[in-house]
Chains A and B, each alone.
Chain A
Amino acid sequence: DAGVIQSPRHEVTEMGQEVTLRCKPISGHDYLFWYRQTMMRGLELLIYFNNNVPIDDSGMPEDRFSAKMPNASFSTLKIQPSEPRDSAVYFCASSETAHGYTFGSGTRLTVV
């Protein structure tokens, strides 16, 4: 298995633009997590899905952020409109119910 695959690895965008981050979890994993990591706040859970259904989105900072999981093999995190304070590394992770996480390599987002 190729592991959790995230794209793009790096994204630089201008303030106000829409940004879409993508994640392909490990086949057979029933949980998918989106995290954000910054120097100031460390690692934060944004949202997680179980069997493609959003379970807890209380970590999503505001309405500009949205996440979808249309099927078991794909999820997106969208920011519209983006702001400089959204600059961070965004990680996707997946897991089976009784096991630990597998993280993707992350997407480094810079909003200028």
Chain B
Amino acid sequence: KNEVEQSPQNLTAQEGEFITINCSYSVGISALHWLQQHPGGGIVSLFMLSSGKKKHGRLIATINIQEKHSSLHITASHPRDSAVYICAVRSTGNQFYFGTGTSLTVIP
């Protein structure tokens, strides 16, 4: 069993749709990260969360520590949002675990 599970694995949306990607984890954490990897391969850190909610432009990340769950939302999706989104956690024991990623394709 993976310590970090993401869903869905693949997601296709029409431009403008609201998108949600989910991440569940089974360990106690000190921080959770959402990463974005574009087809060119570069990885960008979108958010680091330990509680509550963060917003950056059209992206919103939330975390529920009690339920061990985080969501990444994209409002008014755009084709340039097409990428793989990876959830990663740092456990309270300073171990790092990664989800397998959600591949998002936004169609014009």
Contact = CB atoms under 8 A, between A and B. Distances in A.
Interface of A: 33, 42-45, 48, 55-56, 58, 89, 91, 93, 99-103, 105-106, 108
B42 A43 contact: no
B94 A56 contact: yes
Contacts of B33: 100-101
B86 to A, nearest CB: 6
Interface in B49-108: 86, 88, 94-96, 98, 100-101
* Interface-central residue, A33, A55, A93, A100, by most chain B CB under 10 Å: A100
Given A42-B98, A42-B101, A48-B96, A100 B45 contact: yes
Contacts of A106: 41-43
Contacts of B25: none
Given A42-B100, A91-B43, A106-B42, A99 B48 contact: yes
